Structures are given as structure tokens and as C-alpha cells.
Amino acid sequence: MYISGWGNFPRIHSKVYRHWSINQVQSAISNSSEIIPTGLLRSYGDSALNSATLSALSLNKILNFDQSNKTITCESGVSFMELINFLSRYNLTLPVTPGTKFITIGGAIASDIHGKNHHRSGSFGSWVQSIRIISADGTIHNCSHTEEIDLFRATIGGMGLTGMILDATIRLVPLKSTSIEQITFRANDLKNLFDLFEQNKDAEYSVSWLDTNSTSDKFGRGVLFVGKEINENQELILSEPKLNIPFYFPNKTLNKLSVSLLNNLYYRVNNSGRKQVAFDEFFYPLDVLNNWNRGYGKNGFIQYQFVVPKEFSYQTITKVLKTMHQFGISSFLTVLKLMGKSNDFLLSFPMEGYTLAMDIPLSNATLELAKKIDEIIIDNGGRLYLTKDARMSEEMFWKTYTKIEDFIEIKSKYDPNNKFQSLQSKRLGVGV
Amino acid sequence: MNSKRCLIIGATSDIAKELIYIFANNGYSLDLAARRIDELDRIANDLAIRYKTEVINYQLDIENLISVNQFMNNYKHIPDVVVFAIGYLGNQKLAETDWEEAKKIIDINYTNQIPLLNHFANLLEKSNLGTIIGISSIAGERGRKANYFYGSAKAALTQYLSGLRQRLFDTEVNVLTVKPGFIRTKMTSHLNVPPIFEGNARDVAEKIFKAYKKNKPVLIIPAIYKLLNMVIKLLPEAIYKKLNI
């Protein structure tokens, strides 16, 4: 069947294997010359695409729940929405969540996802206690901080390239509140936005939106959202999307003019102040709209997300925005966040510094712009998020992911014939 | 008060698996019958963690009448709801020349379900309470060259359920016939159908549960098949026979 990532680019034909029994998973692996595990296909680019894919969606069972030790063991295809709903009955929750609840545990591990609390809680991988994974020859490995440590370090953030995750044990945290007190700060320029992040670095959650269109004295203006847990516990039921985009919008719907208007409007409607918002609304504002990616049209879009070390962040983001102005290209769903420290996982994305994510409709100009921004990111010691990437060059990847050689050494041990490959890994030259 | 009890026969079909979770979420205890007991055990463990559901698993190979009889002897409860979620599409082309395949399609979709349907109809009639849900198919409405073995067996099942509903009209036992159109499941994973004619197992299961709660007699789903079915049934045979559908 035809599959694509969330950016609808690229779109390819794939033989999809979907099994729950270990025997069948093993035979799907052995029958394929190359294969990549998939879940809910919320990664944007080509990291979960190949001619054969191994879906985790039938691996959808919770295997064990230990309330007193605050751990849960579940199969890799269980979604965040299911888990968060289930755990809330015991006043527990997942320690880290990204901007959508429609992702799987397996995907969260493979992407080593981060959330609005990265500066305090780190990425998802640091909360994984152990993983059971099937490697290329069909062997089941139990890896953790104490067993098969090399495989553990390569699998978290490893984009599915070390094998098929069967299940994992995750450490949980208390669910302090089902509502979040959201404090909104409007920043009239980029400098102001950075200062606000610094002033709020002890806040539990923080994220900001940035206006990529604004110029002169409003250059880099934005809105910072800070979240604080308030001790109010009601029943938490995360909901399915309430609205649906049933078809693709015309490719030019989000053009320079409409995005500029939207950006202006968004800045104006978000006044400084504080209000109480529901868990769903604070963490997953876009999940309300099913298939929102169709708003970008059939051609699809790219999400360009980079992180750069803190000391170079301001100059980098200034340069990036100026480059976008030169190209006359802007982004609406633009997210800026101050991240905390990096971890030991070999292909993990986060590092201490600012990360900027932009959604841009796909065109030749967009791809040219992306190449220009790549240079700025490389020069400033940053890197791109593999989960969003659909077009990075092999050269850039090898320059910016500094632990790639260690990763490849471990991959060659568990996957000597390079069976686990994606279109992305081939493009980036992650061979053995 | 004891929770209500739901028996699902053919519990590992994709629609059944969705139904199981809806019944569990609504506080029912579950009796699950299917050929693959390992798959049932996996589901039962998950249900116990998620909903603290009491689950009893039964092995039942619907192809084998000995197994069907054994199951009826082993099963000692009077369920509030019995769901027949059994379907085997089979290989139409093969069945045209191979009686084994033709018989298998007929047995699974109709003949071998009858002892079970009779048994539970009598049981519920005696207790004068409960619901029988039979998952038949829109394919049973008019024969098509693409699947007339499957379609004719489902047609028989639909007629059986219709008759049973009439028989039990004076009782508190309800009979719900479900006629799904094309649903994307493992049974149909090799077929290509335009998306507007395609349903998914989750939606079907939710609609079945709602129809059961409202004591509805017949459910056609996805809704577009109601119209399609009407049109197809109205076509004169002289025209219908020429159609390539």
C-alpha cells in the first residue's frame, strides 16, 4: 500500500507487514532484504519508509503495570493516548510527551522524543528502563542500562535501525494535575523572547511560537507559553480529534500572504496573561484537527527542525530568519524552545540550546532555502532532528551527528547485513 | 451486582477485537472463543490490566464440528450477549473448481454456526433475556461473481437471523443482524476498494455496540452501503447479470 510520513513527502509504495506473534515478526524480517519498523507514521519525512515496513500497530497490548514501582511494560504499538488515559486512573502519567498523542511507544523510543519539559525532564529515552528487541537474525535481546548496554544506547534515538522493538518498560511519574495554568508572555522581538526563556527556565513546561515574517524592530517577535501544574485532579480523558480536514487543501493555500496574515493574527490574539487550560489543550493543541497536514496540500511540506548550542543560538536564529526573508518564505507553525542537556544515546537529537521547528510547504525554493539554512546550522555546531527530516545531505548528517561511527559499529554487530534500513538511512549513508 | 456477561465467538477477528474492548470498557465480563488460544490469552492479560475485566477463554475451531460440540458442552454460563463474529472470505476462484474450498466457505460462514446459534437461541429464550448479534455481510444481499460462495453462505446466515428474530419477537431476546460492507481488516487486506466505500473495524464495532444498546434489528455499515444496496437490489436481473462489479 501507499504510505508517507506526516509531511506527505515522500509518498511511496510499501509492503506492510503487521503481526503480533513473534514468529511472524521474525519471518517478516527474514523474508525481507531490507525493512524498517513503523508505528502511527507521525515522523514527518522518510525515516519510517521503505519498500518493506514492519508495523507495530498489532503489538498493542499492555503486558504489566506496577503501580507501586511506577513502571509500565507495554508493546511497542501502544499509543500515548491510550497509555495516558489508562495511567490517569492511577494518578500516574508518562514523563515526557511530544506535541501529539498519536504516537507509539516504539516510535517515541526510536525518535528519543522530547517535550515542553525537556529542560527539566530530558528526553523520553532517559525514562526507558529496558527494551526487548528482535534483531536482524531473529534473536530477541533484552537491553537496558545494565544488559547489552551498547544495543540500548543505539536503539534509543536509533530510528528503528537496530531492530524491531517488541516491548519496553517505562518509568512513570505522578500525574500532578489534569489542568495546566498557562502563562502567556508576548515578546516584541527575538531578544525579548530569549530573555523570557531564561527568566522562566525553572518552569515545568515552556514553549514559544515565533513570527517568521516580522521585520525591523519587531524582528523575531513571538509568544512564550509557560505551563505550571496546579493541583487539580479530575478524570483525564484525552479525546479523538473533534474536527477533520477531509481532503487536501490546494497546494497554494498556505502562501506567503496567508501565512503572513496568520502570523500577524496569531501574535495579536495571544495577549499576555494567565489562564487555566485542559491537559489536552496545553499539550496537544493540533490534535483537535484530524489530518491537519492536509492543509499544506497534496505536494506536502517539510518540517525543518534544528537545535544549536546555546551560545550560538541567538546569532543562528537571527541568520536563519534573515535568510528566510531573502527567500520570501515563511512558516506558520513555528516553534522555538530552550532545551536541556543532551544524553548518551548515540543518535539522540536534543542538546543544550535552542531548537526551532518550522513547517514550510514543499517547493523547489523551499528545498533551496533548506540547503542555505543547513550551512548556518553546520557552522554553528547544530544538527537537524531525524524524525522531521526528509532531505538532509549525507555530508551534513556525518558532520553533525558526532557519535555516528559508534552507532554504526554497534549496528554492524546486531545487523551485519544491514537489514534494517529506511529511505532516510540510505540517503544519509548509515550503512554497515 | 454481577457485571453483564458477553460471549464472543470468533474473538480474534478484527471486528471482534474492537468489540471486546468496547464491552470491557463498559464493564462487561467476557467469554472469548476462538481457534488461537495464545492470542486470546494475550488479550485477556491486557484486559485484566486495563479494565480489571474477568475473561474466560475457550478454544473453538469452527471448521470442526467436534470442536463446536465440545465448546457447547464446556460452556456453562448464560450470557447476556452472544456475538457471532465469524467470517471466512475464502478463495472464490479456487472454490469454483475445488469442493473442499467451497465447503469450507459454506461451513464457516453458515453451516457450522447453526448448532451454536440454535443452542444460544434456546438458552436465551428459556431465560427470556439477552441479545444475539450475528455479523453477516452486505455480500449476502445479492450474488456477485467476485464472491458468491461467501455471499450465498452469508445470505443464508442473514435469513436464519431474520427468522430467529421473528420467532423470538414475543420474548425479551433481541436479534441484531450486522451487514458490514467493505471493512479494512486482515480478511480483506489483499483487496483494493475506493476509500469512500471503506470502513474500519473500530467504527463498525462502535456502531454495533450502539445498535445493540438500542435493540436495533439490522445494522448496515458504513452507511453508504444502505443506498448502494437499495440500488443494487432494484436492478433487474437482465441488467445486473451484465455488470462487472
Q: What are the φ/ψ torsions at residue B206 (nearest 5 degrees)?
A: -65, -40
Q: In order of start, what are the domains of chain B with their CATH numbers? A: 5-240 (3.40.50.720)
Q: A185: closest CA among A283, A264, A120, A270?
A: A270
What is the rounded CA–CA span in Å between residue B6 and residue B69?
A: 20
Three-state DSSP state, B154: helix
Contact A62 B39 (CB under 8 A): no
> Which residue has cell 507509539?
A104
Q: What is the largest CA-CA distance in chain B?
A: 59
Measured CA distances, A206 to A96, A304, B81 (Å): 13, 20, 50
pLDDT in tens, chain A (432 residues): 889 999 998 999 999 999 999 999 999 999 999 999 999 999 999 999 999 999 999 999 999 999 999 999 999 999 999 999 999 999 999 999 999 999 999 999 999 999 999 999 999 999 999 999 999 999 999 999 999 999 999 999 999 999 999 999 999 999 988 899 999 999 999 999 999 999 999 999 999 999 999 999 999 999 999 999 887 767 777 888 877 877 888 887 878 788 888 888 888 888 889 999 998 889 998 888 888 888 888 888 889 999 999 999 999 999 999 999 999 999 988 999 999 999 999 999 999 999 999 999 889 999 999 999 999 999 999 999 999 999 999 999 999 999 999 999 999 999 999 999 999 999 999 976
Q: Would an 8 Å CB–CB cutoff place B116 in contact with chain A?
A: no
What is the rounded CA–CA span in Å between residue A274 and residue B146?
A: 62
Beta strand residue intervals within B76-228, DSSP E: 81-84, 130-135, 173-180, 182-184, 198-200, 218-221
Contact A62 B50 (CB under 8 A): yes
User: Rounded to a whole number, what is the distance in Å from the CA of A20 to chain B's nearest CA?
Assistant: 9
Asked if A347 and A392 touch (Cβ cutoff 8 Å), the reply is no
ipTM: 0.86
Q: Would an 8 Å CB–CB cutoff place B206 in contact with chain A?
A: no
Q: Residues 18..47 of B with a Cβ closer than 8 Å to A: which?
A: 38-39, 42-43, 45-46
- Which of the residues B14, B38, B49 would you substitute to probe the A interface, choosing the one with the greatest number of A C-beta atoms within 10 Å? B49
Q: In order of start, what are the domains of chain A with their CATH numbers? A: 37-175+401-427 (3.30.465.10), 179-392 (3.30.70.2520)
First to last CA, chain B: 52
Asked if B72 and B122 touch (Cβ cutoff 8 Å), the reply is no
Show residues of chain A in contact with B46, CB under 8 Å: 61-63
Q: What are the φ/ψ torsions at residue B212 (nearest 5 degrees)?
A: -65, -45
Give the chain B residue nearest A58 (alpha carbons).
B14
What is the rounded CA–CA span in Å between residue B55 and residue B48?
A: 8
Contact B43 A64 (CB under 8 A): no
Of B38, B39, B50, the CB nearest to A86: B50
Q: Tell me, what amino acid is at A249?
A: F
What is the rounded CA–CA span in Å between residue A154 and residue A430?
A: 13
How many other C-beta atoms lie within 10 A of the C-beta of residue B142? 16
Q: Would an 8 Å CB–CB cutoff place A248 in contact with chain B?
A: no
User: Rounded to a whole number, what is the distance in Å from the CA of A215 to chain B's nearest CA?
Assistant: 45
Q: Would an 8 Å CB–CB cutoff place A62 in contact with chain B?
A: yes
Three-state DSSP state, A419: coil
What is the rounded CA–CA span in Å between residue A115 and residue A111?
A: 12
- For residue A25, the 8-state DSSP code is H
- The x, y and z cell numbers of residue B132, run together, are 444475539
